[in-house]
Amino acid sequence: MSGNPKKDDESWFTPVWEIDEETEPPGPLRRRTPKAPAEPNYNHPLLTPLALAQDAVARLEAKAEFASDAVAEGLRARMSYLEAAGWLSYGFVGIHPRDLALRDNGLTISYGAAAHTDRLGTAIPATTVGESGLDLVPSVASRIDIEVNHALGLARQWRRLAEIRSWRPLADVAAVRKTLESVGSRIPEDAEIADWLISAQTLHEGPTLIRAGRAAVEWMNLTGVKEQSPDGVFLAACLWREKAARLPIIPLSFWSAPELRHQRLGLHFGVDWMAEFLECVRAAAITGLQELERLREAEQKSRSLATTARSRLTDAVDALLRAPVVTANSLAKTLGVTSDGALRLLRQLVSAGIAREATGRASWRAYVLKG
C-alpha cells in the first residue's frame, strides 16, 4: 500500500472540502492579495462514498441517541464483539461474536484446551464446528487463543472510546504508547509516534472520516504493514472520536463490515483505497443499525409481558438487553436475587420467546436475546 496520494496526481484533484483562499503574508508596504481559489471539483471520486458513509454513521448515532440506556449499552457491547470477530475473520479465523462474548465472560475454556479434549463444540457453540465448518487441531487452536485475547482487548478499548469521557488516547506520545499497549500492538519509536501525531492532528484538513482514513494509512506506512491493521484502524477511530463535536454514543466501526469489504480494501491504494475504507465504514454502520433494530424489537416485545408490582421480569429484560450473554449467577448478582430466582426469570423469558439458551450445555448455561 502506498501513502497518501500526491497533490499533483491527476487522480487526486482538489476536492471541494480542500478549497482554500490563501493570502500572501502581510508586510509593511504590501497589500493582502488573495490567490484565485481553486475550482471546486463536484465530481471527485470520494464525494459519493463520503456522503454515504457520513449518512450511515449519522443515522446510527441519531437512532442510538434516542434509544433507551439499556439498548444503547447493549448495542455498544454487541458491536464491540462484532468488531473483534470481524478482525479475526479477516486475519485469522472466523469466530462468532457470541462465542467471543462467552469467552470474554469466562464461560468457556481456551480453544487449545477444548481441542485437546475434543470439546471444541462447547467452547464455540455458535461457530459451526465439524466437517462443514471450523475444525481446529490443538496446535492451531492454541495459537488462535493468543489472537482471540488480542481481539477481546481491542473490543474492550473500542467500548472505552464511548464510555469514558475523560480518556484521551491521542493526547501525546505517552498516551498513544499506552493506547497501543492496551490493544497489544507493536509500538514504534517515540519520534515516529510524534511525527504521526503531528500529521494526524495538524496537517490534514477536511471531513473527519477522510482524516481518520488518512491517519490509518500513515500509521500502516509507519509500521510497515501493507494491509489494514487493528492498531491503525483503532487509532483512526480514536482520531474520529477526538474530532467529533461531542462524545459519540457509538465509536467509529470498521471491522463489522462484511469480510469481503476488508479483502477488497487490501487490493487498492490512494483514492481507491480511501473510497473502499469509507465503504467499510458505511457497511459497518449499517450492521450497527441492524443490531440496534433487533434490540429495539426485543425491548418492544418485552413490554407485552404480564408483570406484577413485585415481579423482576422487566429488570431481567433490561439486563438481557445490556449484556450479550447472561447467566443465572450474573443475573442474580445484577438484580440482588437468588440464583434460583434468576433462573426462573430466565426460563420465563425463554417461554415468552425473548431469550434462548446459547451454550447447549446442562450446566453453566448462558442466555442471549432470541433472534
> Are residue 278 and residue 313 in the same domain, yes or no?
no
> Are residue 280 and residue 345 in the same domain, yes or no?
no
Instruction: Please give the Cα distance from 208 to 217 (Å, whole number).
Output: 14
Name the pTM for this structure.
0.85
> Are residue 314 and residue 341 in the same domain, yes or no?
yes
For residue 50, count CB atoms less than 10 angstroms from its CB and return exposed for 0-12, middle for 13-18, buried for 19 or more.
buried
> Are residue 228 and residue 287 in the same domain, yes or no?
yes
Mean pLDDT of the 244-259 span:
89
Assigned domain for 36 exists: no
> Are residue 204 and residue 274 in the same domain, yes or no?
yes
Per-residue pLDDT at 186 exceeds 90: no
Assigned domain for 74 exists: yes
Domain boundary among 242, 259, 292: 292
Per-residue pLDDT at 10 exceeds 60: no
Domain boundary among 229, 263, 292: 292
> Are residue 160 and residue 273 in the same domain, yes or no?
yes
What pLDDT is attached to residue 133? 64
Instruction: Please give the Cα distance from 241 to 229 (Å, whole number).
Output: 18
> Are residue 159 and residue 86 in the same domain, yes or no?
yes
Instruction: Please give the Cα distance from 217 to 85 (Å, whole number).
Output: 22
Instruction: Please give the Cα distance from 371 to 357 (Å, whole number).
Output: 12
What pLDDT is attached to residue 309? 55
Domain boundary among 247, 262, 292: 292
Residue 266's domain comprises 52-292
The pairing of beta strand 355-357 with beta strand 367-369 = antiparallel
Q: Model confidence over 130-168: pLDDT tens digits? A: 655 677 777 777 888 888 998 999 999 999 998 988 899
Assigned domain for 29 exists: no
Assigned domain for 140 exists: yes
Q: Model confidence over 304-338: pLDDT tens digits? A: 886 665 678 999 999 999 999 999 999 999 999 99
Helix (H) or strand (E) holding 354: none
Q: How confident is the model at residue 25 (pLDDT cuts 50, 70, 90)?
A: very low
Q: How confident is the model at residue 204 (pLDDT cuts 50, 70, 90)?
A: low
Q: What is the CATH number of the domain that holds 309?
A: 1.10.10.10
> Are residue 270 and residue 180 in the same domain, yes or no?
yes
Q: How confident is the model at residue 16 (pLDDT cuts 50, 70, 90)?
A: very low
Q: For residue 88, which of 137, 127, 139, 131 has the smallest C-alpha distance?
A: 127
Selected residue with higher pLDDT from 306 and 110: 110
In DSSP notation, 161-230 reads HHH-TT--TTSSHHHHHHHHHHTT-----HHHHHHHHHIIIII--S-HHHHHHHHHHHHHHHHT-SS--H
For residue 137, count CB atoms less than 10 angstroms from its CB and return exposed for 0-12, middle for 13-18, buried for 19 or more.
exposed
Per-residue pLDDT at 252 exceeds 90: yes
What pLDDT is attached to residue 24? 45
Q: How confident is the model at residue 26 (pLDDT cuts 50, 70, 90)?
A: very low
Q: For residue 321, which of 311, 331, 336 has the smallest C-alpha distance?
A: 331
Calculate ∠ Cα 74-106-329, nearest 5°: 70
What pLDDT is attached to residue 201? 81
> Are residue 228 and residue 343 in the same domain, yes or no?
no
Per-residue pLDDT at 223 exceeds 50: yes
What pLDDT is attached to residue 236? 93
Selected residue with higher pLDDT from 35 and 43: 43
As for how many domains the chain has, the answer is 2
Assigned domain for 216 exists: yes
> Are residue 169 and residue 213 in the same domain, yes or no?
yes
Per-residue pLDDT at 6 exceeds 50: no
What pLDDT is attached to residue 68? 95
| Maximum separation of any 2 CA atoms in the chain, in Å | 88
DSSP-assigned beta bridge partners for residue 129: 134
Distances (CA, A) of 359 to 32, 66, 297, 316, 317: 72, 33, 23, 19, 19
Q: Model confidence over 334-369: pLDDT tens digits? A: 999 999 999 999 999 999 999 999 887 777 789 999
> Are residue 225 and residue 333 in the same domain, yes or no?
no
Instruction: Please give the Cα distance from 64 to 85 (Å, whole number).
Output: 22
CB 314 within 8 A of CB 302: yes
> Are residue 217 and residue 169 in the same domain, yes or no?
yes
Assigned domain for 32 exists: no
